[in-house]
Amino acid sequence: MIHGLLLVMVGLLCGFVVPHTPYPRLALGAHVQFVTNGLLLIVMAALLLKLPHSVGPRSAAVMLLAAWLTWLMALSEAANAWWGTTQMLPIAAGQASATGGAAWQELVVKLTHIAAGLSLVVAWGLLVAGFLKKPTVAGNTDTQVRHEFDRDA
């Protein structure tokens, strides 16, 4: 839950910086990414902590990895407000009149977006599967997952 709350807080603070960057349109994208992905992670954590489910500790670990990778993606978007890369986000870059960043900057933005995107799809797939499957009474995985998320908080 703490990842989501902090992403929202950083996103709100980023909103103050948007007009002061070389590429405000890209900074606005970063601001939106922080806030919306933060809300997404808050919802994920709230579902896991408050509703009965069959999400196991390994699935919870994948969800936690997705949260960390989301941080990297959002931070790369914030950096992109100064870099102006064009390969991964061509529509936003075009609207921002970005000219492209250095090869390593393009690579950072591309890798962080791909990793975060794939991990979030897998994490939400596991979350949905954990809610579709009947919770086990004997294993009580709900308590194990709560411990996993509380420990990270």
The total number of structural domains that make up the chain:
1
Which pTM value belongs to this model?
Answer: 0.79
DSSP per-residue string spanning 56-124: -HHHHHHHHHHHHHHHHHHHHHHHHHHH---SS-HHHHHHTT-----HHHHHHHHHHHHHHHHHHHHHH
How does the average pLDDT of the chain come out, rounded? 86
Most confident region among 34-43, 44-53, 130-139 by mean pLDDT: 34-43
User: Quick one: average pLDDT of 128-145?
Assistant: 66
- Local confidence band at 144 (pLDDT 50, 70, 90 cut-offs): low
Higher-scoring residue by pLDDT: 147, 9? 9
Question: For residue range 46-104, what is the model confidence (pLDDT) as tens digits?
Answer: 888 877 788 888 988 898 899 999 999 999 999 999 999 998 989 999 899 999 889 99
Can you give the residue range of the structural domain that contains 50?
Answer: 2-152
pLDDT tops 70 at residue 27: yes
- Residue 122: count other Cβ atoms within 10 Å of its Cβ: 15
